[in-house]
Amino acid sequence: MKLTQTVKKGGCAAKVPAILLREILSGVIFPPKIEGVTVDGASFDDAAIYKISGTHSLVQTLDFFTPIVDDAFDFGAIAAANSLSDVYAMGGKPKTCMAILAAPLATMEPSIIQAVLQGACSVITESGASLVGGHSIDDDTLKFGLSVTGMVENESIWTNAGAKVGDYLILTKPLGTGTICAGIKKQEVDSDIALEAISSMKKLNNVIDLLTLEEIDSIHAGTDITGFGLAGHSYQLALASEKTLCFNFRSLPLFKGTMSSLEKGWLTKAHKSNEEYTKHSLNWGPTISETEKLVAFDPQTSGGLLLSVSPAFAQDIVNRLKDHFPGTAIIGTVMDKQDFHVIME
């Protein structure tokens, strides 16, 4: 069974469009923030933070989606890595996971569901967390993800509101999973191109274990690049930090199949909705073509971390991460707030 043929859209491209999500949430009266909650959903951050002591806080998040690849084990691994990424994006380490599973029991063999869960378990084991339970339902299409609880030191929390003027912007994974996975669904993408993207999506965004304490402290803000694309998540970081992010488009790391896939028109609905979300907040340089612009709108699944880093430590961080994350690159800088939240030059 080719899992991508069982759903209309997959991975983070299946997210509710950001514009519609903001509209929906604007009409909801939320409970008051209780004592201890220091980060909630107000700034569209990656996870919630709940202070439990003078030294530590809980990190809480969840994520789930429909299949983005055909292999069940790979799908489970990607979904798990994507869910765990939100904890890493806040500077934390995952501790416990609970599975979220929906599956068409009448048409799907138990062995496929087992493979999904085994793929997730392989990544959770690598993260050092435990799978402690979950919930499952019988549904028309396969959906899988995790609710994750992590821990973070209070002095080391990264949010999307902490970027400082002069910071360098580091991205840890190449861009292009949206368009490449659209090609996988069409069953037209070359196997080596698909494998590169799949390997990246299965890779945990655990950068903390690769950095020194001094380098960790030099990171002022972070987010992971997922369904809203580089443009959407950069906009949210800039908005929360009240800054402008300026990117050097030619420095963006891309998978070897990203541009060819975009040129073939392998797109998702999220390419359009991400463009709509950011069109009034993004300024393009004159040399960037219409096809190249799609890179910024490409919906990433289990994409890299975007880190806002003190310039004194930026190159050292890149050097440390390169062995494990070969696509790591300095891609821009943080500026005082301009007319646009995001500039692509």
Measured CA distances, 123 to 127, 129, 176, 178, 261 (Å):
6, 9, 22, 21, 28
Integer Rg of the chain from CA: 19
Strand-by-strand arrangement of the 329-336 sheet: 219-224, 305-309, 168-171, 329-336, 243-247, 342-344, 282-284
How does DSSP classify residue 224? E
In a 3-state reduction of DSSP, which class is residue 131? strand
Amino acid at 239: L
d(CA 171, CA 187): 29
Residue with tokens 């961080």: 317
d(CA 334, CA 342): 10
- Is residue 121 flagged as an active site residue? no
List 12, 97, 181, 246, catalytic entry: 12
Residue with tokens 């990433």: 300
* Among 172, 168, 169, 337, residue whose Cα is nearest residue 240: 337
d(CA 260, CA 180): 9
d(CA 6, CA 173): 28
Q: Are 74 and 218 spatial neighbours (Cβ–Cβ below 8 Å)?
A: no
* Among 296, 248, 299, residue whose Cα is nearest residue 269: 299
Q: Are 217 and 310 spatial neighbours (Cβ–Cβ below 8 Å)?
A: no
In a 3-state reduction of DSSP, which class is residue 21? helix
d(CA 138, CA 1): 18
Q: Which residues are catalytic?
A: 12
